Amino acid sequence: MKILLLGAPGAGKGTQAQYITAAFNIPQISTGDMLRAAVKAGTPLGVEAKKIMDAGGLVRDDIIIGLVKERIAQPDCANGFLFDGFPRTLAQAQAMEKAGVHLDAVVEIAVPDEVIIERLSGRRVHQPSGRTYHLIYNPPRVNGVDDETGEPLIQRDDDQEETIKKRLQVYHEQTEVLIDFYGKQDGDNAPDYIRVDGTQPVEAVKTQVLAALKL
């Protein structure tokens, strides 16, 4: 099963990704997580990517496409994967088509801009696992620490209001076009296109997504 999660920054892609990957036993491929790992490791890519991410921009298509091609060639992707935050531009989507990657389903989590700022400013993250919480909507059991490991939660560097606004603008300018790109495909090879109202509570979104994926 090859699935793509599409949605604005803060729509809940990472939150829903954990349920989908568990249900289908497929790995999550989050280009954001891959870039943050490179930043943490201090690689040349990480140093370059950090500047772009902190400014709310997009890392170059050729770099991202190279990273993803390398990742999906690994053995754990043989039975499929879940793309989270990729493709994010038309060029990235076209590169996947060219590489013969056929998606079974595209899940769009729709959330209006007004909701995003509140979501992202209240987000807290357990960096090693990528588990995500929200101070109000999805709080950890114990304040400030991860439910499973007890380790501290952090705030992402790009979750500052000015950066969030820029990320939203970039989403509208460069990523939103993918809604039509995938949603308007037809024919036998077209992926199932599933649109879910992402303003509902986490559990309700999860139930709808898994039902639409026929689980």
Q: Is 119 annotated as a binding residue?
A: no
Binding residues vs ligand AP5 (CB under 6 A): 7, 9-15, 31-32, 35, 52-53, 56-59, 64, 85-86, 88, 92, 119-120, 122-123, 132-134, 137-138, 158, 167, 198, 200-202, 205
Neighbouring-strand partners of residue 197: 110
Q: Which does 23 bind (CB under 5 to 8 A by kind): Zn ion, ligand AP5, none?
A: none
Residue (of 30, 34, 36) closest to 85 by Cα position: 30
Residue type (1 letter), 100: G
Return the SS3 of 51.
helix
Pick the catalytic residue from 2, 50, 119, 123.
Answer: 123
Are 166 and 56 in contact by the 8 Å Cβ rule? The answer is yes
Cβ neighbours around 78 below 10 Å, total: 10
Instruction: Tell me if residue 123 is catalytic.
Output: yes
Instruction: Tell me if residue 167 is catalytic.
Output: yes
Instruction: Tell me if residue 131 is catalytic.
Output: no
Q: How far is CA 156 from CA 27, 47, 145, in A?
A: 23, 16, 15
Nearest residue (beta carbon) to Zn ion: 14
Instruction: Tell me if residue 214 is catalytic.
Output: no
Binding site for ATP: what residues are annotated?
A: 10-15, 123, 132-133, 200
- Give the interface with Zn ion as residue ranges (CB under 5 A): 13-14
